Amino acid sequence: MPLAACTSPQQAPPAAPSVTTESAGPAGPVPAGLDRFYAQPLTWGACAPYATSDDVRSAFGRTDLQCARLTVPLDYGKPQGDTITIGVLRHKASDSAHRVGALVLNPGGPGASGMSAAAGISSQVAGTDLGKRFDLVGFDPRGIGASEPEVTCLTDTERDQERSEDLDTDGSPAGVARQEAESKEFAAKCAQRTKYGTGMLANLGTRDVVRDMDVLRSALGEQKLTYLGYSYGTRLGSTYAEAFPQNVRAMVLDGAVDPNEDEVSSLVAQGRGFGVAFNDFTKWCAARQDCALGADPSAATRAFQDLVRPLIDHPVRLRDGRELTFDDATLGTIQALYSQQLWSPLNAGLNELKEGQGTTLMALADQYNERDSSGHYTNTQDAFTAIRCVDDPPVTDRAEILTAENRYDQAAPFLDDGRPNGAALDPCAFWPVPNTSQPHEPNVSGVPPVLVISTTNDPATPYQAGVNLAKAMKGALLTFEGTQHTVFLQGISCVDRIGSDYLINGTLPPEGARCTAQ
């Protein structure tokens, strides 16, 4: 059962000025013992030193961006103890005379870089009312990207090796044993290689990130938080609203994570989402003369399986010496299903595979895994697992795991490897610290109405999750009819207009509001 991060892919454009320090004292109420954090000044400077991969280096070199470090407690229960820092990036409002405030964003994951997302979105909103009226602020959550220390589990070489082994396709008792041995080793390495060890891992989850967000709100000089959360970022939004209801000004939550849904149900629902998106891709593909899966969409799943299943026993060797495995090919396909803009490369990659080549599919898989051209991985995948393990109760019932595996294959048959499923425990079953939260209905009494945006055929965060979140948050729901993961500020004028009007003026759309692609 593939475990897909629910990031909202944001392409950072080509990304920072003289050093300035800003401090207006703490903004709003300060929790006991945290005065020095809430009142800290932010020293803004060039963003280039914050780049963590080749893919964002040019973006972080832009002179219209500023970066700073926010200091927060490692453990909020011990504010006088060790501290860590959060990387923050800002693009200032272009119309300072009519500035509303700071719009803080998170792109999802968990584990994705908010700094990179903000750099990318800032170019997209330049010249718009949103760009004129708001400072756009992205942060790398604790343990991620430019924040220090970062979660560290696997080296680049170990990550490549893990991908080449394709262990998930072996559901035999021996295969399950190998998978669990790898999971145990992964959990141990995370604790050994991450600074502060289990102390960091225990304080890495959503519970702690929203506390960082409130410190950031104050350090930015904002009495109340204006927030944009994509995908997993919607969980940060709902959790922040529950923890700090009095500090919320407005929230757009796009591509919702259902706060009530347990991990197994969420993953199966995600499988259904990818299954629907794959079917939409095959219909699009069938209309092309060069469709790698043929002209009959009803036969496309079998055609796809015939292409990728042989990779289990016979991976395709690439020019760089790596091999395209079944897991790489299916993960590259999942990456392409996040956005229709990647459907053409996916079709090209599948046509290449028919000729015994795997360059394009591997490039898509590398994009998902955030592996750059030099072979360096960001720590997104390490952080994704670490946050998931501390956020939710581990799944240790093997019968439940096997049932979930089978349900996932039924929901997304194109990902079925054709072999019996096993019931291997994942790293969370061996995690060295307990989980700190669990799914529940958020208590958001006193929170102003939020805007939830949900896409009908979102592959990673199904439409119904948005319906459920809007109801739980007592907010408004905007439906987008399309097949992609998240939509706000991605060029759909109807969605962008409604979302921007809400953030600037507080205007909510009427009940039943819907948008379609132009």
Q: State the Cα–Cα distance between residues 137 and 118, nearest whole angstrom.
A: 6
DSSP-derived secondary structure for 87-135: EEEEE--S-GGG--EEEEEE--TTT--HHHHHHHHHHHHTTSHHHHHEE
Contacts of 144 (CB under 8 A, 6+ apart): 109, 111, 112, 113, 150, 151, 379, 380, 383
Q: Give the per-residue pLDDT at 24.
A: 53
Q: What is the pLDDT of residues 261-307, one digit of tens each?
A: 888 899 999 999 999 999 999 999 999 999 999 999 999 999 999 99
Rg (CA), the chain: 22
| Angle, vertex CA 461, rays to CA 490 and CA 124, nearest 5 | 15
Contact indicator for 217, 225 with CB cutoff of 8 Å: yes
Whether 373 sits among the annotated catalytic residues: the reply is no
Q: What is the mean pLDDT of residues 501-512?
A: 97
Is 308 a residue whose pLDDT tops 60? yes
DSSP-derived secondary structure for 208-241: HHHHHHHHHHHHTT-SSEEEEEETHHHHHHHHHH
Mean pLDDT, the chain, rounded, equals 93
> What is the band of 19 on the pLDDT scale with cuts at 50, 70, 90?
low
Q: State the Cα–Cα distance between residues 379 and 156, nearest whole angstrom.
A: 10
CB atoms within 10 A of CB 398: 13
Whether omega before 432 lies within 30 degrees of 0, making that bond cis, reads: no
> What is the band of 353 on the pLDDT scale with cuts at 50, 70, 90?
very high
Q: Which residue in the list 231, 238, 266, 339 is annotated as catalytic?
A: 231
> What is the band of 53 on the pLDDT scale with cuts at 50, 70, 90?
confident
> What is the band of 101 on the pLDDT scale with cuts at 50, 70, 90?
very high
CB atoms within 10 A of CB 396: 12
| C-alpha distance from residue 280 to each of 117, 330, 415 (Å) | 27, 16, 15
Specify the DSSP element, H or E, that contains 477.
strand 476-481
> What is the band of 21 on the pLDDT scale with cuts at 50, 70, 90?
low
Q: Give the per-residue pLDDT at 12.
A: 35
Q: State the Cα–Cα distance between residues 267 and 326, nearest whole angstrom.
A: 20
> What is the band of 14 on the pLDDT scale with cuts at 50, 70, 90?
very low
Q: Give the per-residue pLDDT at 55.
A: 79
Q: Which residue in the list 129, 168, 426, 458 is annotated as catalytic?
A: 458
DSSP-derived secondary structure for 25-50: ---S---TT-HHHHTPPEEEB-SGGG
Return the half-sphere exposure (C-beta side, CA atoms, 13 A cut-off) of residue 501. Answer: 11
Q: State the Cα–Cα distance between residues 80 and 318, nearest whole angstrom.
A: 52
Whether 231 sits among the annotated catalytic residues: the reply is yes
Contact indicator for 109, 231 with CB cutoff of 8 Å: yes
Contacts of 285 (CB under 8 A, 6+ apart): 291, 292, 293, 297, 300, 343, 347
Structure tokens, 391: 């956020």
Can you say how many angstroms the Cα of residue 62 is from the centroid of all Cα atoms in its chain? 24
Q: What is the pLDDT of residues 402-441, one digit of tens each?
A: 999 999 999 999 999 999 999 999 999 999 999 998 889 8
Contacts of 445 (CB under 8 A, 6+ apart): 245
**What are the helix and strand counts (H, E) for the chain?**
18, 13
> What is the band of 7 on the pLDDT scale with cuts at 50, 70, 90?
low
Q: State the Cα–Cα distance between residues 77 and 174, nearest whole angstrom.
A: 43
**Among 326, 335, 353, 324, residue whose Cα is nearest residue 170:** 326
Specify the DSSP element, H or E, that contains 55.
helix 54-57
Length of the chain: 518
Q: State the Cα–Cα distance between residues 317 and 466, nearest whole angstrom.
A: 41
Q: State the Cα–Cα distance between residues 454 and 231, nearest whole angstrom.
A: 10
Q: Which residue in the list 135, 339, 485, 496 is annotated as catalytic?
A: 485
Q: What is the pLDDT of residues 108-128, one digit of tens each?
A: 999 999 999 999 999 999 999
Is 132 a residue whose pLDDT tops 50? yes
Strand partners, 453: 254, 478
Q: Give the per-residue pLDDT at 10.
A: 42
Whether 376 sits among the annotated catalytic residues: the reply is no
Q: How far apart are the first and last CA of the chain?
A: 35
Specify the DSSP element, H or E, that contains 136.
strand 134-140
Q: What is the pLDDT of residues 252-274, one digit of tens each?
A: 999 999 988 888 899 999 999 99
